[in-house]
């Protein structure tokens, strides 16, 4: 079928300005047309459909004001990228990585210089472009992102760090895509930072695809701090082949409404996913986090650990879903979701779901919603600490299992400071 690009002037103009390959422009149009007939994704106990989460702004190329970065101090490392809005301001890659054939580049460079690789993997395995209305809109309107390709038999010990800054100084949708492909027998560590500059009401649609090929090992850590007026759909997906492993560590420190859609698809025998998430909700914020691990291969392991804190009038919902598909003999699906409530006006839910379609498997779950441990609180107060400070220390300890997995000491300290700030702000509202 031939697609008439001229019927879509905004897409045609953007494609012309960026010299976008024809196949990708056609995929945009196909996705836009498909989005009109697709439903929004549905998540248990997460009611977001009336939020301004659908993309409304026209596709266009936007320039960035470099002075926006003056207030930021990034940890300088040998391997890093800084993007503000649609612009890449800095990209550093060590000679060791270059010598081993590692490819890390912004999205436009990937389309122009590595089009065959992009076309082979983009929205083919971890996420499908026509999965639902939000994924289809994402393809139609995406304007920024990062492409990472690690060849087979490459062992990388150094962490690659990304800083993705949403420009909310103007009313523009933030549509961002990260594609990470890790080859057979390779190892790679990735640390992602999301942050908002500006106070305009905006919508963010962010998708991350991680393809872990046979016997690869991926460590994926993130610190998310999107703004109070940013309504976000954040989709992170893993596709794991035989004996592959992904360790996810995510700090959800956003201030606005957000739906987190996190899936690990254990396709190959022996695949293993560990998912650890911490989240804090304050003010009138609503966060819905839907975390799923699907055991498809034999002897696969999927573990989910979610710890959250809610203050003021905020809402936090954790869905933990372990699904063992028929034929996945010897699979193991475990999950734990715990929520601390620091306010009588807050709403929290820890919702465990186990779907077991086969025998000879191991599965279990734990879920709780409660208040700060009074014995720990009393102990700290007996040592002279004020109650609110003692509460903050207990909470940081409660979130510790995820904090400890962040690969950068500087980022761990930054995350602790972010937690402190959110807790202090939340306690002021009590």
Render each residue's pLDDT in the chain as its tens digit; 430 residues: 567 787 899 999 999 999 999 999 999 999 999 999 999 999 999 999 999 999 989 999 988 776 666 666 677 889 999 999 999 999 999 999 999 999 999 999 999 999 999 999 999 999 999 999 999 999 999 999 999 999 999 999 899 999 999 999 999 999 999 999 999 999 999 999 999 999 999 999 999 999 999 999 999 999 999 999 999 999 999 999 999 999 999 999 999 999 999 999 999 999 999 999 999 999 999 999 999 999 999 999 999 999 999 988 999 999 999 999 999 999 999 999 999 988 888 899 999 999 999 999 999 999 988 887 778 878 888 888 888 888 888 888 888 877 887 777 777 787 888 888 887 776 666 5
**CA–CA distance from 232 to each of 1, 166, 358 (Å)?**
34, 11, 36
Number of separate domains in the chain: 1
- Under a CB-based contact definition with an 8 Å cutoff, are residues 259 and 54 in contact? no
- Under a CB-based contact definition with an 8 Å cutoff, are residues 175 and 141 in contact? yes
Alpha carbon 222 to its chain's center: 7
- Under a CB-based contact definition with an 8 Å cutoff, are residues 251 and 402 in contact? yes
pLDDT given at position 426: 67
Gap between the Cα atoms of 268 and 256, Å rounded: 37
**Can you give the residue range of the structural domain that contains 10?**
5-428
Buried b (16+ CB within 10 A) or exposed e, 275-305: bbbbbbbbbebbbbbbbbbbbbbbbbbbbbb
Buried b (16+ CB within 10 A) or exposed e, 112-140: eeeeeebeebbbebbbebebbbbbbbbbb
For β-strands 332-341 and 362-370, DSSP reports them as: parallel
SS3 readout for the chain: CCCCHHHCHHHHHHHHHHCCCHHHHHHHHHHHHHHCCCCCCCECCECCCCCCCCCCCCCCCCCCCHHHHHHCCCCCCCCEEEEECCEEEEEECCHHHHHCCCEEEEHHHHHHHCHHHHHHHCCCCCCCCCCCHHHHHHHHHCCEEEEEEECCCCEEEEEEEEEEEEECCCCCCEEEEEEEEECCCCEEEEEEEEEEECCCCEEEEEEEEEEECCCCEEEEEEEEECCCCEEEEEEEEEEECCCCEEEEEEEECCCCCEEEEEEEEECCCCCEEEEEEEEEECCCCEEEEEEEEEECCCCCEEEEEEEEEECCCCEEEEEEEEEECCCCCCCEEEEEEEEEECCCCCEEEEEEEEEECCCCCEEEEEEEEECCCHHHHHHHHHCCCCHHHHHHHHHHHHCHHHHCCCCCHHHHHHHHHHHHHHHHHHHHCC
């Amino acid at each position: 079928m031939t697609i008439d690009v001229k019927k879509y002037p905004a897409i045609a103009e953007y494609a012309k300005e960026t010299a976008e390959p024809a196949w990708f422009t056609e995929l945009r149009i196909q996705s836009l047309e498909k989005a009109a007939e697709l439903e929004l994704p549905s998540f248990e106990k997460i009611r977001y459909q009336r939020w301004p989460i659908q993309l409304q702004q026209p596709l266009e190329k936007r320039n960035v004001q470099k002075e926006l970065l003056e207030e930021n101090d990034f940890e300088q490392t040998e391997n890093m990228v800084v993007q503000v809005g649609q612009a890449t301001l800095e990209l550093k890659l060590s000679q060791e990585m270059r010598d081993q054939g590692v490819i890390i580049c912004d999205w436009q460079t990937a389309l122009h210089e590595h089009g065959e690789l992009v076309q082979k993997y983009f929205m083919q395995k971890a996420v499908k472009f026509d999965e639902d209305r939000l994924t289809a809109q994402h393809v139609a309107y995406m304007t920024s992102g990062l492409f990472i390709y690690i060849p087979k038999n490459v062992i990388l010990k150094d962490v690659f760090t990304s800083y993705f800054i949403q420009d909310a100084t103007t009313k523009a949708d933030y549509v961002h895509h990260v594609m990470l492909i890790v080859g057979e027998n390779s190892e790679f560590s990735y640390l992602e930072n999301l942050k908002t500059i500006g106070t305009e009401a905006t919508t963010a649609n962010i998708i991350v695809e991680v393809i872990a090929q046979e016997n690869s090992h991926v460590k994926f850590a993130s610190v998310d701090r999107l703004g109070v007026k940013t309504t976000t759909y954040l989709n992170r997906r893993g596709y794991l082949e035989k004996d592959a492993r992904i360790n996810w560590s995510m700090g959800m420190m956003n201030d606005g409404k957000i739906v987190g859609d996190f899936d690990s698809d254990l396709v190959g025998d022996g695949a293993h996913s560990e998912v650890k998430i911490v989240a804090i909700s304050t003010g009138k914020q609503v966060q819905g986090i839907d975390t799923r691990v699907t055991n498809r291969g034999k002897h696969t392991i999927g573990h989910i650990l979610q710890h959250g804190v809610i203050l003021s009038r905020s809402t936090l919902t954790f869905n933990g879903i372990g699904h063992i598909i028929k034929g996945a003999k010897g699979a193991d699906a475990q999950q734990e979701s715990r929520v601390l409530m620091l306010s009588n006006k807050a709403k929290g839910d820890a919702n465990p779901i186990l779907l077991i379609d086969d025998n000879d498997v191991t599965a279990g779950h734990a879920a709780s919603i409660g208040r700060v441990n009074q014995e720990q609180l009393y102990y700290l107060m007996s040592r002279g600490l004020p109650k609110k400070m003692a509460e903050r220390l207990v909470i940081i300890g409660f979130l510790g299992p995820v904090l400890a997995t962040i690969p950068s000491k500087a980022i761990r300290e930054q995350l602790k400071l972010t937690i402190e700030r959110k807790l202090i702000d939340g306690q002021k509202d009590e």
